[in-house]
Amino acid sequence: MSELKKEAIEVAGATVPFVTYQDGEAQVYEFDTSKCGPPDPMVNAMAGLALINAADKKLVMINHKSPGGLLAKIGENYNIEEEAVDGGLVKLTFSYKSGESEKAGLGDASCAG
């Protein structure tokens, strides 16, 4: 398996670094908020989700726990896979859900929880 070539990118509104890379047919955007406290995970997820506007784009979030407030807010608008990764962290992969992702209301980065 070849190493993914990750490239740093600027994401409007982000407070942590983002990288992008190609994984098969998908353009992937990734960020890590595992060492951040609120509101950084929500703020960066909302900034990153704004990039997910087609079926061939995904957002990967590495966090210290499952972001309950975020999932309550946008869970119906994206396909979301959650998996445990080394060190007790959580990796979430968000992908586009046609007809739903457009309704996510990404302008409001506050969390209800």
CATH of the domain at 71: 3.30.110.40
Task: Indicate whether 46 pLDDT > 60.
Answer: yes
Angle at 14 between CA 93 and CA 83, to 5 degrees: 20
How high is the pLDDT of residue 113? 43
Distance of CA 90 to the CA centre of its chain: 12
Q: Please give the tally of structural domains in the chain.
A: 1
How high is the pLDDT of residue 3? 73
Across residues 81-93, what is the average pLDDT? 97
- The kind and range of the H/E element at 59 are strand 57-63
Residue 42 lies in a domain: yes
Total Cβ atoms within 10 A of residue 113: 11
Residue 112 lies in a domain: no
Segments forming the whole domain that contains residue 72: 7-103
Q: Identify the residue whose tokens are 């309950």.
A: 68
- Amino acid letter, 89: L
How high is the pLDDT of residue 105? 86
Residue 65 lies in a domain: yes
- Give the lowest-confidence range in 22-36, 71-85, 94-108: 94-108
**pTM, two decimal places:** 0.92
